[in-house]
Structure 1
């Protein structure tokens, strides 16, 4: 009984903090993960969610991730997509290839594309600037695009021997408005040493993201769970993200998805949807300064919409992403079935147009 009372008291104290808009600590986050029920997490996440969104409100986008190249020298052990330079099967998309994918996206009602490739030493900065300028000239504001991830941006700046600020300005002049927080996975140095030793450090990641914000570009936060990361590593990732948002206010959203282990070097067993949803709720409670928390249909299919009860308010309906599909993700184009599930949960999904919008 003594332990039960202490547990109840701790939950009451954390709930009081959340209700009074006081920030939870790392120790609070650890306690919630280990002790709080799903119902407790849903309730607390709902309190923070309600500061930004109506209880039954949620938004979605129809989007496509365009993998413009699969050539990469990073050699991350969790990736089933990349080909080393010179290997059979390597490719780089032409402008016409990209336009065809964008036209198909528009035909399916989408208006957002995200570009994700890798560290391709054969592609100079001019390739990216020419590609993005041609997209902006062809489509104007009818399509928006997330140009590169921060990880790719880091490699591109290094390869071009330019500062992060100079690289951001070059891309901005080519019509780029967004560079997303992709390539973060788990933002701890130990994780990177274990799994992506040729990627950039956590400090370099945030230095680059700060330069992106200072250049007037928009950006996001991302996180991938389900490798071999510890609870402390997950919390460190959230802590560094919250701190960056405190300092810059530059993060429009936070998206978390799950690692797909199939056909990867690291392998392993995919974590359960239940674990994903609990982490989503913990993220919503902890990241009290980020307005939009996004749940991942790409990796969780329609079960991702249960995340709306765990603090999320937004989701993608993706039509393609070779990186996650190569590792076992499946994609459904039956958008109405997925939206119907959201409505059955009590939410009223509204299409969120990113093109020419603030977020």
Structure 2
């Protein structure tokens, strides 16, 4: 039976009342909002939840670099245009000097956060990562921070080393690691993983590993990628699982959603629209009522990502490199002021969110 305008208005009023008074909405209500609420109504509700954590006109950003230390991977995800199989032409592993050069350039451009992302390289033992991260910490001190691995990579390394997740987390922590991010989640349903990344880990294993990371005292984040062939129900399941994990652990510092870039990938397809992305950001902000920071993706949406500030986001990245998404069609601009001006034109005052704790050892503080 179709809904009348009056019944739609009534239902929205009921959900809006819950959001305004701080009550939690469920999956059925989130589904209803997606199917029936206007963009403006989603924006209004997202602003309510955003306002519990951030001043209305405030937003923050980071200047960061994603360093793809290797492109050799055996996961064979059909949405990836980046990987090379072991022995395949074009495979590489960066040396410490290569990594240091990229970090030096990041610092020169005013950034202080690097994120490492490579894949499941069977030729790289856990010791490679521990030595690399220890060398970075020794060379740069607290001048910059780094997201050492994604959870998916962490899981592969632990299994490859025949270590439990808690033991692997302690090894990395001893090497100077402070962050292991929520990357590799894409859509957290078993059905999605069976369709697109059958050699990756299950959803249950993913959260088992993330729990071990939190319990080891390391910091972590939540991520999500939309625009494959996932259903609305799969998106909602991802959000529900994420919210429950945060209820149980409180370990998620932020939530970042970005969009799938289909070019040159096996799965192919057409990019979803920015309008759909922004609606989804709003739904994330409304549903994830226990995560303080919602991040919009300049990497995959360029300056259009700044529109996410009107849909509940409060933070965004200014990336200088990410081969994984660039291989699949992402473009990157180093004209940071031009991008920041989009936020200013929307009425926001962007403030640099420093992640590092100090200066490099060679800087004379005097």
TM-score range, shorter chain: over 0.9
| CA deviation string 1:99-142 (max 9, x = no partner) | 00000000000000000000000000000000000000000000
Aligned with 1:309: secondary structure? helix
Aligned with 2:262: secondary structure? coil
Quote the residue 1:85 is aligned against.
86
TM-score of the pair, normalised by structure 2 = 0.97
| CA deviation string 1:17-63 (max 9, x = no partner) | 00010000100000000000000000000000000000000000000
Q: Distance in 1 between matches of 2:303 and 2:284?
A: 20
Aligned with 1:328: secondary structure? coil
Quote the residue 2:14 is aligned against.
13
Q: Distance in 2 between matches of 1:181 and 1:10?
A: 34
Say how many residue pairs are matched.
Answer: 357
Change (3 A) 1:2 1:85: closer
Quote the residue 1:329 is aligned against.
330
Q: Distance in 1 between matches of 2:8 and 2:43?
A: 18
Quote the residue 2:45 is aligned against.
44
Displacement after TM superposition at 1:2 (Å): 6.7
1:110 and 2:111 matched: yes
Q: Distance in 2 between matches of 1:110 and 1:59?
A: 14
Quote the residue 1:166 is aligned against.
167
Q: Distance in 1 between matches of 2:272 and 2:281?
A: 13
Displacement after TM superposition at 1:356 (Å): 2.6
1:140 and 2:141 matched: yes
Quote the residue 1:206 is aligned against.
207
Change (3 A) 1:95 1:22: same
Q: Distance in 1 between matches of 2:154 and 2:14?
A: 42
Quote the residue 1:54 is aligned against.
55
Q: Distance in 2 between matches of 1:248 and 1:60?
A: 26
| CA deviation string 1:297-341 (max 9, x = no partner) | 000000000000000000000000000000000000000000011
Q: Distance in 1 between matches of 2:30 and 2:65?
A: 34
Q: Distance in 1 between matches of 2:243 and 2:3?
A: 35
Q: Distance in 1 between matches of 2:277 and 2:357?
A: 32
Quote the residue 2:362 is aligned against.
none
| CA deviation string 1:147-188 (max 9, x = no partner) | 000000000000000000000000000000000000000000
> Residues 125-136 of structure 1 correspond to what in structure 2 (within 5 A)?
125-136=126-137
Quote the residue 1:76 is aligned against.
77
Q: Distance in 2 between matches of 1:138 and 1:91?
A: 23
1:65 and 2:66 matched: yes
Aligned with 2:4: secondary structure? helix
Q: Distance in 1 between matches of 2:260 and 2:357?
A: 31
Runs of 4+ in 1 over 6 A off after TM superposition: none
Q: Distance in 1 between matches of 2:320 and 2:15?
A: 40
Q: Distance in 2 between matches of 1:116 and 1:127?
A: 14
Displacement after TM superposition at 1:3 (Å): 1.1
Displacement after TM superposition at 1:4 (Å): 1.0
Q: Distance in 1 between matches of 2:39 and 2:333?
A: 28
Aligned with 2:75: secondary structure? coil
**RMSD of aligned Cα (Å):** 0.9
Quote the residue 1:306 is aligned against.
307
1:286 and 2:287 matched: yes
Q: Distance in 2 between matches of 1:330 and 1:255?
A: 18
Quote the residue 1:253 is aligned against.
254
